[in-house]
A and B are shown apart, each in its own frame.
Chain A
Amino acid sequence: MKLRKVISAVLCISAFAALTTSLAGCSLGNRAPAVIDKEAVMSIPDPENYVYPDQITIRIPIYDRGQTGQAPVTDNYWTDYVQKEFGDKHNIKVDFISIPRAGEVTKFNQLMAGKVSRQPDIIFHYDYPQCITYAKSGAFQTVDTDMLKKFAPDYYKATEELDQYTYVNGEKVFLAGRRPRAYNFVSVIRRDWVEANGYTVPDNSADWIITQEEYYDILKSFKEKKNGGPNTIPMAFSLPNANFSNHGYRNYPISAHDWAMFADLSVCSFTWEPTYEQIKYNNNLCNMGLVSNEWYLDKDGKQSKERFSSGVQGTYGFYLTKESAEISALLQNQPNAKLSLTPSVKTENEGSGESVLKGGRADNPFGLMTGINVHCKHPEAIMMYYEWLQDNILTMQNGIEGITYNMTDVGNGKQIPVLVDGYDGVERLNYNANKDMWCLVIEGRDYGDPELNRAAQVYTYAPKGYEYLIEQNYERSVENDHLNYIDFLFDRSIDSLSDKGSTLLNDWQKYATDLFNCKSEELDKKYQTYAKAYLKAGYQQILDEKEAAYQDMKANNKLPDPLPEGVISDEEAAALYGGDGNQPNITLSADEKAALAQ
């Protein structure tokens, strides 16, 4: 009796297990990569007017930024427009898949782990290392350049100069979006406070260049004179993330080696000398009371924004938009508030005794990086979509003339489209002028003429009366262009970076909180301890992997040629600085490294 029970129980369980595994197995579909018959695809005549005999579907992911008061991102006037103008013409059904902007990697991973027939046909990200990680995990198919030239000739031509960034391990896997220059991120200071305290600000703040000591003095005067009331906070400051700028303390020019090892916004180069100097500077700011006491509670800059808007904070950095709530709130609280760009601050090159302007991080030359899903059966249809976006960019960015935009004179008989403020009809553009639809091919407006582009920025982003912020920012960017250089881009994935990145970010934020807040005499000792712990927690692994990758790229002549302005070869740097420029401050001893390897 008992035996029979046991047997039946075992049978039941195994049947259940067999059933469930087979369920899980078959529900996900065939996971073999799609096979593309290149010859058949290349024999398609006249791609621009090609009609598929049987309807095909392409699935395009689109960012959902959770903006209130907007139509659903996957179903609105403009998605219908795409279907009508592009899809119906070719007998393609265009499905949009919403991707939450925060948590996009998780969502893409979820989609890719699911049923093949429900996966998006393309996968994208703004962060280059993440794109390489996708590529390395086998998410993408190779992009055939001949096919791209045939099905998306205009797009190909427009992005040809970005071609060099689209290869991973020698294979072309990315479709790059262009990134025209943008000038709407501005750092501002309360001009009225500066002047009230007896300092002069040039009319054009692009010419305002001072030393670090002078800048300190201005900030200190805000606090002493209490320009914003008893709770005046001179400077905007919040919890740093992995992208911790230390350009002011890097040598200029920097050696290619240091550039490759430490210029990276996905992990803080905590142990590097310039980072230490920047930490010391921030510690000084905290100790002098020039920033909020509770800056580390401000994880997303919201408190900083509130303080600036209410008129108690002296500086602030933000993306200017036509409706910038910060400015309107500030003017409501303090109608006499005046703004100027923050001064450019000069810092010293190590040991030279002379302060110079250092510049900062240049934006990548590309915008969104897209890969075609390894399961996508019709890569040519994706290319056709890119071509269509490229050719219809004016409409996608501005909508319909006379309804959502008007052509406006900007001088010299030139015209640009300017959006109608607050248009609320059915043809209304989605959030940020349909950006999340056309970002596949371009990041902003580009009219092929610097003058027009500058005008477009002013008309697009500047609130009334604050056009000068964008104009001066533009001017400063042009003047300092040669000082800025992009971060180093490896042509392969640095695995330890994606493995350890989030742990190191967590550690870095913890250490930063303590290091900025501690007494200055404790700083060095604490920094030493933390730096060792940081190396052991995974940064050493990242450095080792980067070093090997860099040396390999260098030996195989795969470094960018020419090097960007501001970067010099290791040999030149050795001659210039005698050694290797900025050295890492803290390293692990041989014993510690050996212990770590175990």
Chain B
Amino acid sequence: MKTQTNMAAPAVKRKKGFMFYLKRDWELYALVVIPLIFIVVFKFLPLLGLSIAFMDYNPILGFSGSKFVGFDVFRQMFTSPDFYVALRNTIVLNIFDLICGFPMPIILAILLNEITCAWYKKLTQTILYLPHFLSWVIISAIAYQLFSPSTGIVNIIIGAITGTGESALIPFLTEKWHWAVMYILLAVWQSMGWGTIIYLAAITGINSDLYEAADIDGAGRFGKIWHVTLPGIKPTIVVMLIMALGRLMGSNFERVQALSNTNVTDFSEVIATYVYRVGLGANKFNISTAVGLFQSVVGLVLVLLSDRVAKALGENGLV
């Protein structure tokens, strides 16, 4: 394919310039301009706001009135111990999120794919999708009801099983280590069903001849999963992984804010809540902008890096 364009393109290009194509296909160019404007207005123009990170920003004086301070704000940010706690928590929680949360949809998709009874499969899928549509505020309210140490049903049941008759008083959400585990598990529960959609679609795209061939070769269920299904969805997995790695520095504000309490702030303060607290809580717009910028830059670097790694391993990558 590469050689083809190389041969044809230069010959045409030399004769006809950009204006030729513009004249010929102006309708198409006009159509492209619309999303382009959208992107410029809503994605690029706001980037000007990043200048806040380099100013002693005072909203009343505005951009023009506020003093330019160079990298002072970043210096402030990197000397604040709170920032490092937030950074540590963000990365650690996200890594565990990735380890626990990433494989689950794949496993689940494969399991769903193996179900042959159509109505049962549909029912299961629907039930699995449902938690995705619950907001974190609702999930956390339910979780706090269920897992409360003294009045939560889970503790009462555990107490009954272990024979004490009283609540087991396990601080599922009120002690930081327990909380961290629950934080991860609740997210797995919430998102695994929805995550299967893309893998199920990829599995559908696998040529059924391959399964037949595997049958003939004497592969069992696991053999087929291992040698056909998984390799078939490998490109999808890689793309999803790259995107997940890009989110390693991000954090879901709603999820942390809803689930945290003052007994677990040591672990629950992440960059998103830090930015909110410092930026909107203390009106230090410049620090929160700087933290946001830092977060995005690291995210970008991570995506580019994982993309390189994927390409080096012979996969397609993103860019």
Interface residues in chain A, defined as those with a beta carbon under 8 Å from any beta carbon in chain B: 16, 20-21, 23-25, 28, 31, 103, 105-106, 109-110, 112-113, 134, 137-139, 231, 239, 293-294, 296-297, 374, 498-503, 506, 509-510, 512-514, 517, 537
The 0/1 profile, CB within 8 Å of A marked 1, for residues 57-83 of chain B is 011111111000000000000000110
Assess whether B284 is in contact with A294, with CB atoms less than 8 Å apart.
Answer: no
In the complex, B195 has a CB within 8 A of chain A: no
| 6 interchain pairs, CB-CB under 8 A | A21-B48, A24-B45, A31-B62, A137-B59, A137-B61, A513-B261
Give, as a whole number of angstroms, the nearest-CB distance from B146 to chain A: 13
User: Out of A294, A374, A502, which one reaches B278, CB within 8 Å?
Assistant: A502
Known contacts A31-B65, A294-B149, A294-B150; decide if A503 and B278 are in contact (CB<8 Å). Answer: yes
User: Out of A23, A25, A498, which one reaches B64, CB within 8 Å?
Assistant: A25
User: Out of B44, B59, B265, which one reaches A109, CB within 8 Å?
Assistant: B59
Give, as a whole number of angstroms, the nearest-CB distance from A134 to chain B: 8
Assess whether B60 is in contact with A112, with CB atoms less than 8 Å apart.
Answer: yes
CA distance A137 to B82 in the complex (A): 26
Known contacts A139-B60, A293-B149, A509-B262; decide if A106 and B280 are in contact (CB<8 Å). Answer: yes
Give, as a whole number of angstroms, the nearest-CB distance from A472 to chain B: 35
Assess whether A503 is in contact with B282, with CB atoms less than 8 Å apart.
Answer: yes
User: How would you classify the secondary structure of chain A's contact residues: helix, strand, loop or mixed?
Assistant: helix
What B residues does A105 contact at CB under 8 A? 283
Assess whether A498 is in contact with B282, with CB atoms less than 8 Å apart.
Answer: yes
CA distance A502 to B288 in the complex (A): 13
Which residues of chain B from 26 to 49 have any CB-CB distance to chain A below 8 Å in the complex? Answer: 40, 44-45, 48
User: Out of A103, A138, A503, A512, which one reaches B58, CB within 8 Å?
Assistant: A138
Give, as a whole number of angstroms, the nearest-CB distance from A191 to chain B: 27
Tell me the nearest residue of chain B to A139, going by C-beta. Answer: B60
CA distance A294 to B155 in the complex (A): 14
Which residues of chain B from 231 to 246 have any CB-CB distance to chain A below 8 Å in the complex? Answer: none
User: Out of A231, A501, A513, which one reaches B263, CB within 8 Å?
Assistant: A513
CA distance A482 to B51 in the complex (A): 53
What B residues does A23 contact at CB under 8 A? 45
User: Out of A28, A293, A512, A537, which one reaches B62, CB within 8 Å?
Assistant: A28
Give, as a whole number of angstroms, the nearest-CB distance from A342 to chain B: 25
Known contacts A502-B277, A503-B82, A503-B277; decide if A31 and B48 are in contact (CB<8 Å). Answer: no
CA distance A396 to B244 in the complex (A): 57
Tell me the nearest residue of chain B to A239, going by C-beta. Answer: B262
Give, as a whole number of angstroms, the nearest-CB distance from A324 to chain B: 25
Give, as a whole number of angstroms, the nearest-CB distance from A515 to chain B: 11
What B residues does A106 contact at CB under 8 A? 280, 283
The total of chain B residues at the interface (CB under 8 A) is: 33
In the complex, B296 has a CB within 8 A of chain A: no
What B residues does A231 contact at CB under 8 A? 151
CA distance A514 to B176 in the complex (A): 12
In the complex, B281 has a CB within 8 A of chain A: yes
User: Out of B58, B59, B61, B278, which one reaches A110, CB within 8 Å?
Assistant: B59
Assess whether A513 is in contact with B262, with CB atoms less than 8 Å apart.
Answer: yes
Assess whether B45 is in contact with A498, with CB atoms less than 8 Å apart.
Answer: no
Assess whether B148 is in contact with A294, with CB atoms less than 8 Å apart.
Answer: yes
In the complex, B212 has a CB within 8 A of chain A: no
Tell me the nearest residue of chain A to B273, going by C-beta. Answer: A506
CA distance A346 to B284 in the complex (A): 43
Assess whether B63 is in contact with A24, with CB atoms less than 8 Å apart.
Answer: yes
In the complex, B211 has a CB within 8 A of chain A: no
CA distance A294 to B44 in the complex (A): 46
The 0/1 profile, CB within 8 Å of A marked 1, for residues 272-311 of chain B is 0000011011111000000000000000000000000000
In the complex, B174 has a CB within 8 A of chain A: yes
Assess whether A137 is in contact with B58, with CB atoms less than 8 Å apart.
Answer: yes
- Give the interface centre of B82, B151, B261, B269 by most chain A CB atoms within 10 Å: B261
What A residues does B215 contact at CB under 8 A? none
What A residues does B58 contact at CB under 8 A? 137-138
In the complex, B266 has a CB within 8 A of chain A: yes
User: Out of B64, B150, B262, which one reaches A296, CB within 8 Å?
Assistant: B262
CA distance A21 to B282 in the complex (A): 28
CA distance A500 to B144 in the complex (A): 31
- 9 closest pairs, A vs B, by CB? A502-B281, A113-B59, A513-B262, A502-B282, A109-B59, A509-B262, A510-B265, A112-B60, A139-B60
Assess whether B61 is in contact with A24, with CB atoms less than 8 Å apart.
Answer: no
User: Out of A25, A138, A499, which one reaches B60, CB within 8 Å?
Assistant: A138
What A residues does B63 contact at CB under 8 A? 24-25, 28
Assess whether B282 is in contact with A499, with CB atoms less than 8 Å apart.
Answer: yes
What B residues does A110 contact at CB under 8 A? 59
User: Out of A506, A512, A513, A537, which one reaches B277, CB within 8 Å?
Assistant: A506
What B residues does A293 contact at CB under 8 A? 149-150
Which residues of chain B from 125 to 179 have any CB-CB distance to chain A below 8 Å in the complex? Answer: 144, 148-151, 174
Assess whether A31 is in contact with B64, with CB atoms less than 8 Å apart.
Answer: yes
Tell me the nearest residue of chain A to B282, going by C-beta. Answer: A502
What A residues does B265 contact at CB under 8 A? 506, 509-510
What A residues does B262 contact at CB under 8 A? 239, 296, 509-510, 512-513
What B residues does A21 contact at CB under 8 A? 48
CA distance A257 to B61 in the complex (A): 35
What B residues does A113 contact at CB under 8 A? 59-60, 62
What A residues does B44 contact at CB under 8 A? 16, 20
Give, as a whole number of angstroms, the nearest-CB distance from B126 to chain A: 33
Assess whether A297 is in contact with B48, with CB atoms less than 8 Å apart.
Answer: no
Tell me the nearest residue of chain A to B49, going by C-beta. Answer: A24
What A residues does B281 contact at CB under 8 A? 502
What A residues does B284 contact at CB under 8 A? 499
What B residues does A512 contact at CB under 8 A? 262
Assess whether B61 is in contact with A31, with CB atoms less than 8 Å apart.
Answer: yes
Give, as a whole number of angstroms, the nearest-CB distance from A377 to chain B: 17
Tell me the nearest residue of chain A to B144, going by C-beta. Answer: A297
Tell me the nearest residue of chain A to B281, going by C-beta. Answer: A502
Known contacts A31-B64, A514-B263; decide if A501 and B282 are in contact (CB<8 Å). Answer: yes
What B residues does A509 contact at CB under 8 A? 262, 265
Tell me the nearest residue of chain B to A536, going by C-beta. Answer: B81
Tell me the nearest residue of chain B to A506, going by C-beta. Answer: B277
Give, as a whole number of angstroms, the nearest-CB distance from A118 to chain B: 13
What B residues does A513 contact at CB under 8 A? 261-263
What B residues does A499 contact at CB under 8 A? 282, 284
Assess whether A510 is in contact with B266, with CB atoms less than 8 Å apart.
Answer: yes
What A residues does B150 contact at CB under 8 A? 293-294
Tell me the nearest residue of chain B to A108, going by C-beta. Answer: B59
What B residues does A537 contact at CB under 8 A? 81-82
- Give the interface centre of A20, A106, A374, A506 by most chain B CB atoms within 10 Å: A506
Give, as a whole number of angstroms, the nearest-CB distance from A310 to chain B: 13
Assess whether A296 is in contact with B261, with CB atoms less than 8 Å apart.
Answer: yes
Give, as a whole number of angstroms, the nearest-CB distance from B147 to chain A: 11
Give, as a whole number of angstroms, the nearest-CB distance from A419 to chain B: 36
What A residues does B151 contact at CB under 8 A? 231
CA distance A502 to B45 in the complex (A): 31
What B residues does A296 contact at CB under 8 A? 261-263
Give, as a whole number of angstroms, the nearest-CB distance from A335 to chain B: 25
Which residues of chain B from 69 to 127 have any CB-CB distance to chain A below 8 Å in the complex? Answer: 81-82
Give, as a whole number of angstroms, the nearest-CB distance from A86 to chain B: 28
What A residues does B280 contact at CB under 8 A? 103, 106
Give, as a whole number of angstroms, the nearest-CB distance from B214 to chain A: 51
Give, as a whole number of angstroms, the nearest-CB distance from A562 to chain B: 36
Assess whether A20 is in contact with B59, with CB atoms less than 8 Å apart.
Answer: no
What A residues does B60 contact at CB under 8 A? 109, 112-113, 134, 137-139, 374
CA distance A231 to B166 in the complex (A): 13
Assess whether B64 is in contact with A20, with CB atoms less than 8 Å apart.
Answer: no
Give, as a whole number of angstroms, the nearest-CB distance from A289 to chain B: 11
CA distance A512 to B261 in the complex (A): 12
- Give the interface centre of A103, A296, A297, A517 by most chain B CB atoms within 10 Å: A297
Give, as a whole number of angstroms, the nearest-CB distance from B235 to chain A: 32
CA distance A134 to B148 in the complex (A): 43
CA distance A110 to B174 in the complex (A): 36
